Every structure is written in C-alpha cells, then in structure tokens.
Amino acid sequence: MKEQSKIPTSKVQRATSFIKTGAKLGGNYIKHYSKKAFNPDISRDQLDTENAADIYESLSQLKGSALKVAQMMSMDKNMMPKAYTDKFALAQYSAPPLSYPLVVKTFHEFFGKSPEEIFDTFTREAVNAASIGQVHQATLNGKKLAVKIQYPGIADSVSSDLKLVRPIALRILKLSEKDIDQYMGEVEGRLLEETDYELEIRRSIEISQACIGLKNVYFPAYYPDLSSKRVIVMEWLDGKHLKDFVAQNPSQELRNKVGQAIWDFYDFQFHQLRKIHADPHPGNFIINPDGKVGIVDFGCVKEIPEEYHTPYFKLLNKNKIDSEEELRDIFYKLQFLHSSDSVQEQQFFSGIFKGMIDLLGKPFRYESFDFGNDAYFQQIFEMGDRLGKMKEHRNSKIARGFKHGLYVNRTYFGLYSILNELKAEVKIQNQSLEVEV
C-alpha cells in the first residue's frame, strides 16, 4: 500500500480537504440526477459507490477522528448503504500508513532517539494502519513487540474534525439533527480519551488483569517504560485475524469455541466490570491455532453507569418486565420517550423502540443462540432501513435515547456481527462463566 509522506495537521489544511470532498460529492449528485432525468430506473448504487470512494480517499489521507467515525459506521451495517460500509471497513486495519521518516520524527519528539536506538530490530514499514495510529513490529532482548504510533496532530484535531465531518455524516446517516449532535458529542468524548495513549495503557493493564481468568481469552503484556503519550509498546500476539481465521473454514466446534470466548469476555465486562472494550471490530481479535482469542486495543473504553445499566438490561430481558406501564417507565428512563411528547409521539416512538428491543434482545431470550442465522441479521438491517425512511423519526426535535446507548448498542452490534461472521452458536445464559483464580 502506498505510504503517506505527510499528513495535514493545521485546521486550515484539514478544512480545505473537507471542502474539496464536499464539492466532489456535490458533483456526484449532479451527475446522478442528470442521468436519472433521462432514465428514471437508474438506482442509487453507483452514486453511493462513487461517494463512498471519494469520502474514504479524503478521510484516509487525513486520518484521525473523521476516519474513526467512518470505521465506526462500517460496523453498523444497517446505518447506511452497503457501498459505504464496505469501503469504510478498510479503516479498521488497511488505511494508508505514514512513511518511515514521520515515524522517526515522532520517536525523536517523545524519546529523543530513533526506533533503531531503542529496539534491537524495528520494521520500517507498518504491519497495520488504522484511523488513529499504525503498528510496527519490533524486538528487544529476544521479545517480539508491537509498537503502536499515533499519527501527528490527531489528538489536537478531534473537536475541529468532528465539526467538519458533521455535514457529511448527516447526508449518509439515518439520524435526525438532534440525534447527530448527541452522536458527535459522545464520539468526541471517547476519541479524546482514545488519543491519550497513557490512559490507554492504564486501562489495558487494568481490564486485561481483571479478565485474565476468563476461559480461552488472553492479552498482551504492556511496557509502560517503553511507551509515551503517543507511543504504546506491547507484546506481539501471533495468530490470525477473524477474516483469515474464517477463510480457513474451521470446524463448527472451533467456531463455537471462539464465539463463546468473545461473548463471555463481553458479558463479564458488561455485568461485572461495568466498563467495556467498546471497539469490537475484527482487527482487535487475534485467534491462535487452539481457538484462544487474543484481545488488543483498549483505547476505546465505555463506562456504564448504574442508572443506564439496570433499565437497559431489564429491557433486553423482557421476561422481567411485568406490565406495559413498567415498560413505558423504562422508556422514559432511557430517554426513548420524553415528558414533552404528544400522545401520538408516545405511540409512534413506543412502537419503534419495542420493535428494536425485540430484535436486539432476541438472543437474550434463549439459553443459546445461533448467530449464523442470516435471516435474523436481515431483519435488523431491514428495520434500520425502515427507520431511516420514517420522516417522524428524522424530523424529531428531541434526541432519542440516552447518550450511553451509542457505545453500548454499537458494541452489541459489533459483537453480533463478529459472531455472525464466525457462524457461531453460543450459550447466552452461561452458568459456568466464572473467573478462574
């Protein structure tokens, strides 16, 4: 993949790039509707493909918050057309890397030395490049290491980038103006944390140590003494990423073992730690030949307050709700409904969220669930598509749903998608889920 020799870091440079992208999108729309005037049967597929390519090209050169938002959206496959999710998925681990001289510059800034002066060996080319940083492989005293280096200027551009990407997000996301503001506000908070590598190391050590006794999961060792505000050094984990693992056509038993390990990892975090590894994209799971799952990248962690946790999981397990009145009370607590809603709005949004919870919570109503059931996921995508077309929802003047729901729901959709790709059947009510000591 072609490397970047520079990255725009000033607000003017980055704003100019967004303006150019917006102009390209406008041109794509003009071409599309000109063709449609002569042939009304032309679909939006070509327009979506061209727009997705232009947006991704721009964001991949900028890196940072805007590219991270694209990565997040690629995981929510019912949020936008397939052309976007397919293209934006590249941001998970295939963004264009920065050239080696920029890597050396970062090391000199934070360590006063080049990588070769610190490590025994260091790969000049990145082995993995994503939205916030890229990874190089190194060795030191016989240990194989992963060295994650943050792109220059990314931490300082979070807030301004999100303001610039908002019009593009509004154009392709199925969200109202109020929803997009809440969405971007919550994303900004997490991304500011995600660019703080010192915080990431502390969380990585804390959460991995808390989860170390879970069956069939393992974590890298971290090296704070070799790390800094913009560089993280950790143990290198050998194994295959999810896509490569599935391509080997593993047995159903092995698929289920891997799926169960990932499900139990998240279940433990949700209900015991009350904080979650909120970036469940395939690049963060490394599977060894025995079916054990290595888990990396604790940059995005969402803490779940009790005021959200209790009503949310009671809603997912509807068997614990005794009456329609109790259900409505939970809807108010989770801010699906508001006191200012008219009777018609209450009925409309209650119907929407009942349907959404029925689908999202379906696995929780079984002792085990087959995530290989593509029909289930098709229902989820179709509901998202219908929701995006409902003018009542898009024109709502109030954001619907607690802000905490953004990363909680995103985590579940990401988890479900991973288990679907694995075609795994997992025990949902796993009575044996205890930490080994």
- 327 close to 361: Cβ distance less than 8 angstroms: no
d(CA 289, CA 245): 9
Q: Check pLDDT > 60 for residue 113.
A: yes
**52 in any annotated domain:** yes
- 4 close to 97: Cβ distance less than 8 angstroms: yes
Q: Are residues 166 and 19 in the same domain?
A: yes
d(CA 233, CA 227): 6
Closest among 51, 57, 49, 66 to 15, alpha carbons compared: 66
Residue 130 gets the label, from left (phi > 0), alpha (psi -120 to 50) or beta, of beta
pLDDT value of residue 201: 96
Strands (E), 252-322: 275-277, 285-287, 293-295, 301-303
The residues near 120 (Cβ < 8 Å, ≥ 6 apart) are 138, 139, 140, 141
- 257-314: per-residue pLDDT in tens? 999 999 999 999 999 999 999 988 888 999 998 999 999 989 889 999 999 999 998 8
Its domain, for residue 342, covers 305-403
- 371 close to 259: Cβ distance less than 8 angstroms: yes
Q: How far is CA 174 from CA 181, 356, 402, in A?
A: 13, 15, 17
Q: Check pLDDT > 60 for residue 73.
A: no
Could you tell me which residue, 353 or 89, shows the higher pLDDT?
Answer: 353
- 204-247: per-residue pLDDT in tens? 999 999 998 899 999 999 999 999 999 999 999 999 999 899 99
Domain final residue, candidates 146, 172, 198: 172
Domain final residue, candidates 172, 202, 234: 172
Structurally, how many domains does the chain consist of? 2
**Mean pLDDT score, 422-435:** 73
Name which of 139-148, 357-366, 388-397 the model is least confident about. 388-397
Q: How far is CA 15 from CA 66, 165, 169, 172, 238, in A?
A: 12, 9, 15, 19, 40
Q: Check pLDDT > 80 for residue 27.
A: no
Q: How far apart are the first and last CA of the chain?
A: 45
d(CA 236, CA 157): 30
Tokens in use for 152?
A: 């220059």
Q: How far is CA 226 from CA 102, 118, 138, 152, 211, in A?
A: 19, 9, 12, 19, 24
**124 in any annotated domain:** no
d(CA 218, CA 137): 19
Alpha helix ranges (H) inside 195-274: 197-211, 242-247, 252-268
**209 in any annotated domain:** no
- 319-374: per-residue pLDDT in tens? 667 688 888 899 999 988 988 888 988 888 888 888 888 888 899 988 999 999 99
**39 in any annotated domain:** yes
* Phi (first) and psi of residue 233, to 5 degrees: -115, 125
**Burial letters 134-148, b for 16+ CB under 10 A, else e:** bbbbbebeeeebbbb
**363 in any annotated domain:** yes
- 421 close to 242: Cβ distance less than 8 angstroms: yes
pLDDT value of residue 432: 45
